[in-house]
Structure 1
Amino acid sequence: MDVSLRSFRPGRRALHLLLTTTTGLCVLVLAGGCSPAAGPAPARSTQAAARAGVPAVASELQDDYQEVIDDVLPSVVQIEAARSLGSGIVYDDRGHIVTNAHVVGSARRFEVVVATREQPLTATLVSSFPEQDLAVIKLDTIPPGLKAARFGDSSEVAVGQIVLAMGSPLGLSSSVTQGIVSAVGRTVTESGDGGGTGATLGNMVQTSAPINPGNSGGALVNLNSEVIGIPTLAASEPGPEGSIAPGIGFAIPASMVRTVADQIIEYGEVRDSGRAALGITGRTVLDSSYRPSGVAVVSVTRGGPADEAGLRAGDIITKVDNAEITTITSLAEALASRRPGETVSVTVQRDGAERTVRVTLGEM
């Protein structure tokens, strides 16, 4: 079954139904914004659970959940940007908060609800990197007790790991859902409508933890209280009215979050994206049956990877290594899992003949 991917940036107005509109998703939220929850309940002791008839193993797992929630939830914030709501993670003790680029949109000023106080704080955009759907904002005033989250090692994320998703789904701040890591290394492409950036994202973590409107920018957390990713996308049925596919969500891995956030904080921009590029502009071309059949090279960056490999305007790219290229999106997906400096085989059609060249990839 075909699915599409949707990034979430819910509207602020109070409604009673989840609606898909031309301006994005409008969801049930508290009028005037959501106040933070009073905080997670204290962990129940194993002994007390035993008296209540809860099996010991289940009680220990419950205690693990509650310990993780106590550790991490204070580092997850709610962000209001213009007419939208999303989530974010406290990145350091200087007031930097990392979130999705589609959460901040074109705004530069924000209201942020943190766990240590009821009233929203103001924040300012540091920089946004839509190509990886990440952004960093900074609190104007750092409140007492602000707690930065700990980020885990992406190389240790494994299928079957239990994870918790924390954020503000449907505008309900300090919410937690549970699932497992369903897959790693996924390449997905955001829709360009409904608030998405249209970015193609590689090495994504797939999870069964429910990802709902407002979870974007929040935290996907393991049982070591480490953030392993930022929930960003959920799958949905094809078409503008497609319903959300339960249990299929995607998170940007912690390694990419740190790569982008560290550069934004240090330089105010991303100087080393870690994203591979051919150094061309292109467009999807159709065959005689009006089906996508490749990517036509419109222009080549002078001195770039494609130029040095001998590609030129008018070539039609049909393969990268063994991956069939039919659209500009499939080309982006083929490159998303690559790194700058890697060498790939690129097959093109030129003047009715097929040829293959080796290209050492550059950086986006």
Structure 2
Amino acid sequence: MARSFLRRLLFALLAGLAAGSALAQGARSEFDARAELLERAQAAVVGVLSEAVDDAGSIATLGALRRGSGVVIGDDGLVLTIGYLILEAERVDLIVEGERRVPARVVAYDVASGFGLLQALAPLRVAPVGLGRSAALATDEPLLIASGGADGELSLARLVSQRAFSGYWEYHIDTALFTVPPRSDHSGAGLFNLDGELLGIGSLVVSDALGPGVGRLPGNMFVPVDLLKPILAEMRARGASRLSTRAWLGLNCSESDGEVRVLRVTRDSPADAAGLQPGDRILRIDDAEVGALETLWKTLWRNDAERDVVLTIRRDGELQTLTVHAVDRMKTLRRPQGI
């Protein structure tokens, strides 16, 4: 069923793009070759089921049981996914071919990029996909999104922007891929070009795929694979890239009209210990004025991970200065006993 649907989808897409071209005039060999590449890409997308350790701090926001997707990128059963699916995981299973369950172990969780790596503990019997060049994508280029598991789906997508992205959860990347229409099963889903190459891993649903101030256009944000290539060996060897050794406060913040405000404070975090509260407006961090999340996070990360950070805030109309002792985020994460 999935194979037949993919071929119909691909043929309709390519025929529409190339009406009057060699494809429309009957050059089926090129179509068949591309269809095989895309079928291989779809087969490489597996389901990911994870369960967090009992005392994981991430349960408060992500829940204890998490479901999403991953993409096989290694002949040895290496699977790339989005990190929050496997953050502080006690157990992880991969769902192959919609129903076969294969146990896996967490190889890496990378704070800086947001990627996660899993290693299958039994043969997957799935061919890996190649990594494409996400930076080479053109706006409006047709793409495919594939999710895995029993309810895995395939759909067409369109790239509408590539730009920096700052997350509310102490996260920033300088390049992110934004596609439409939105998919709700985006977590860890694979974004592919029409050559079957992996371009990105699904992270979020967003309301502003075109960018802030351009108008509401719901879509998805994907973390580009270009970020993975220079750190993949390091992630496999160390469990994270060196960029993931960075300061952490335990804040969720929002940005609007040049103001950054605290949305949530993680319990027992440095920010909680220092007295930060939801609603606080952050005016300065150390010597930098804060008008954007990017400034807040990049200033936080530019020095040692474990140090005192000075925040100037406005609360109930009054200025306050708070000193927060930041910690290394990687040291705060819970792991299964014996690992």
- Any idea what SS the aligned residue of 2:233 has? helix
Q: CA deviation at 1:142?
A: 1.7
Gaps of at least 5 residues in structure 2 are 13-18, 52-64, 209-215, 252-259, 263-278, 304-310, 313-329, 331-339
Q: Residue by residue, what CA displacement relative to the aligned partner does 1:307-361 show, whole Å, maximum 9, x if unpaired?
A: xxxxxxxxx412xxxxxx336x24146679x999xxxxxxx99xxxxxxxxxxxx
Paired residues of 1:87 and 1:167 also in contact (CA < 8 A): yes
| Pick aligned residue for 2:291 from 326, 334, 345 | 326
Alignment of 1:172-183 (within 5 A): 172-173=151-152, 175-183=153-161
What residue in structure 2 maps to residue 268 of structure 1? 238
Q: CA deviation at 1:91?
A: 1.4
| Distance in 1 between residues matched to 2:261 and 2:8, nearest whole Å | 61
Residue identity in the other structure for 1:292? R
Q: CA deviation at 1:74?
A: 0.9
| Pick aligned residue for 2:124 from 119, 131, 143 | 143
Q: CA deviation at 1:179?
A: 1.7
**Correspondence 1:225 to 2:203:** no
- Any idea what SS the aligned residue of 1:69 has? helix
How many correspondences in the alignment? 253
Query: Percent identical across equivalent pairs?
Result: 16
Alignment of 1:121-160 (within 5 A): 121-144=102-125, 146-160=126-140
| Distance in 2 between residues matched to 1:46 and 1:95, nearest whole Å | 28
Paired residues of 2:142 and 2:158 also in contact (CA < 8 A): yes
**Correspondence 1:203 to 2:175:** yes
Alignment of 1:192-341 (within 5 A): 192=169, 198-212=170-184, 214-236=185-207, 247-265=218-236, 267-273=237-243, 292=281, 294-297=283-286, 316-318=287-289, 325-326=290-291, 329-332=293-296
| Distance in 2 between residues matched to 1:205 and 1:45, nearest whole Å | 23
Q: Provide the alpha-carbon RMSD of the alignment.
A: 4.3
| Pick aligned residue for 1:187 from 165, 184, 200 | 165
From the superposition, tell whether residues 46 and 129 of structure 1 become closer, same or farther in structure 2 (CA, over 3 Å). closer
Q: TM-score w.r.t. structure 1 length?
A: 0.57
Residue identity in the other structure for 1:326? G
Residue identity in the other structure for 1:69? L
| Distance in 2 between residues matched to 1:221 and 1:141, nearest whole Å | 26
From the superposition, tell whether residues 39 and 124 of structure 1 become closer, same or farther in structure 2 (CA, over 3 Å). farther
Q: CA deviation at 1:282?
A: 11
Paired residues of 1:151 and 1:226 also in contact (CA < 8 A): yes
Q: CA deviation at 1:248?
A: 1.6
Paired residues of 1:211 and 1:233 also in contact (CA < 8 A): no
What residue in structure 2 maps to residue 80 of structure 1? 49
Residue identity in the other structure for 1:262? A
Gaps of at least 5 residues in structure 1 are 1-36, 49-54, 193-197, 238-244, 298-315, 319-324, 341-347, 350-363
From the superposition, tell whether residues 291 and 335 of structure 1 become closer, same or farther in structure 2 (CA, over 3 Å). closer
- Any idea what SS the aligned residue of 2:206 has? strand
**Correspondence 1:120 to 2:101:** yes
| Pick aligned residue for 1:93 from 75, 98, 103 | 75
